[in-house]
Amino acid sequence: MNQLKKLLIIGFVWPEPKSSAAGGRMMQLISIFKEKGFEITFASAAQDSDFMIDLAEFGVEKKSIELNSSSFDDFIAGLNPDVVLFDRFMIEEQFGWRVIENCPKAIRILDTEDLHCLRTARQKAFKENRNFELPDLLSEEVAKREIASILRCDVSLMISEFEMDILKNVFKINEDLLFYLPFLVDKMNEEELQKLPSFEERKNFVFIGNFLHEPNWNTVQYLKEAIWPFIKKDFPEAVLEVYGAYPSQKVLQLHQPKNGFFIMGRAGDANEIVKKSRIVLAPIRFGAGLKGKLLEAMQCGTPSATTTIGSESMHANLPWNGFIEDNPEEFSKKAIALYQDENLWKQAQKKGITIINECYQKSKYSAQLISLVNSLLINSERHRLHNFMGNLLQHHAFKSTMYMSKWIEAKNKN
């Protein structure tokens, strides 16, 4: 009888699928490996939160670990996982060398979430009031760390094809080190669409986003200052409800019921809220990766209004389930038309179902991921031999990171 393969996930935070798309993404990964019979341990140095998921309910062992501590060495040597998945490059930086030292044969997978250097460079360009250009990435400090982490791992999971192209064409990363894995959902059909609330049963515009994520705060600010005045001028009865985990005081201060602009706080059940709303507004101006809120809108049969950045890599060449517009006045006009025109709304709704079924099929991508992992488990030596730059970086980073970590550990003991 074959022994169960062991997967260790080292998390940046404990998963909160109801608070962020990143939490939802992590639970999708857990479900894929669980369905294929992996024994999963989820470890993190993060503090527990009131909203983290109960991993035990999913048959996942939870383990609290410490940063810069040799106690992790004893833990991972005892566990001896076949596969280690790092949740974002910062986690690989912190624990990667310890994994290599104690479990050199373990396959190392990096889940990038999104390309952090792209998000950072776009945000910087936005704040400096200039256009972002791809060569900007080459001078971005975080890019050096992120690319080094990608090279040190056996494979990196990429959520966006646009970002895969950046890695291959701008940073010259070998495509053998990259694997495209978008959000994964089940197929939808017309019958399921009929069970969702109808056009008449829905009301209001809605925005949902975790406010620890800077692009979400910026989007709400933009809605309030640049878009909502246009919408209210032509559609005085309009109401926008803004939901999101961890709203700061500056977010709460935008609450203006007299103007139809409501800051609602954390969503109890985001899915139910989006199903009852008529349109999702998401005029995102900078960021990276795929936007979980826009895929969720499609699943809820709710058309959405977004920007070029918001829709990036989300719909292949298929028509959007609503519209894509970067000009605030045009955005407002189209949002009102989509809200008021039932035929336009129903057409947009169906386009969302097509996008889901063409671009996000769980069965397709989960099978490919497990096939890749099994191949790496068999051929890891050959795979690593051809990743010379990764070996080079591993050699030097191993030493520098190891000595820095040991110095911090010694300092903490004194």
> Which domains are present in the chain?
6-184+362-413 (3.40.50.2000), 190-359 (3.40.50.2000)
What pLDDT does residue 395 have?
A: 62
Span 96-149, pLDDT tens digits: 999 999 999 999 999 998 999 999 999 999 999 999 999 999 999 999 999 999
Predicted confidence band of residue 1 (pLDDT cuts 50, 70, 90): very low
Report whether 409 contacts 70 (CB < 8 A). yes
CA dist., res. 355 & res. 321, Å (int): 8
Residue-by-residue DSSP string for 19-47: T-HHHHHHHHHHHHHHHTT-EEEEEE-SP
Predicted confidence band of residue 201 (pLDDT cuts 50, 70, 90): very high
Residue 291 corresponds to which tokens in the numbers above? Answer: 């936007």
CA dist., res. 409 & res. 398, Å (int): 16
Chain Cα centroid distance, residue 406: 32
**Closest C-alpha among 72, 69, 165, 76 to residue 115:** 165
CA dist., res. 126 & res. 413, Å (int): 43
Q: pTM to 2 decimals?
A: 0.90
What pLDDT does residue 254 have?
A: 93
Vertex 159, ends 322 and 130: CA angle to 5°?
70
pLDDT at 361 over 50: yes
Q: What are the Cα distances from residue 292, in Å, to 140, 257, 271, 360? A: 26, 27, 12, 12
What pLDDT does residue 389 have?
A: 80
User: What is the mean predicted confidence (pLDDT) over 332-346?
Assistant: 97
Q: What are the Cα distances from residue 241, in Å, to 161, 224, 254, 356? A: 32, 11, 11, 25
57-62's contacts with Cβ under 8 Å and 24+ in sequence apart are 58/27, 58/30, 58/31, 58/34, 59/34, 60/30, 60/34, 62/14
> At 320, which amino acid appears?
W
Q: How far apart are the first and last CA of the chain?
A: 49
Higher per-residue pLDDT: 388 or 221: 221
Residue 160 corresponds to which tokens in the numbers above? Answer: 């966006």
Report whether 335 contacts 281 (CB < 8 A). yes
Span 228-263, pLDDT tens digits: 999 999 999 999 999 998 988 999 999 999 999 999
Identify the DSSP state of 224. I
C-alpha radius of gyration, the chain, whole number: 22
Span 260-291, pLDDT tens digits: 999 998 888 889 999 999 999 999 999 999 99
Report whether 60 contacts 89 (CB < 8 A). no
Q: Phi-psi category of 313—alpha, beta or left, where left has phi over 0 and alpha has psi -120 to 50?
A: left
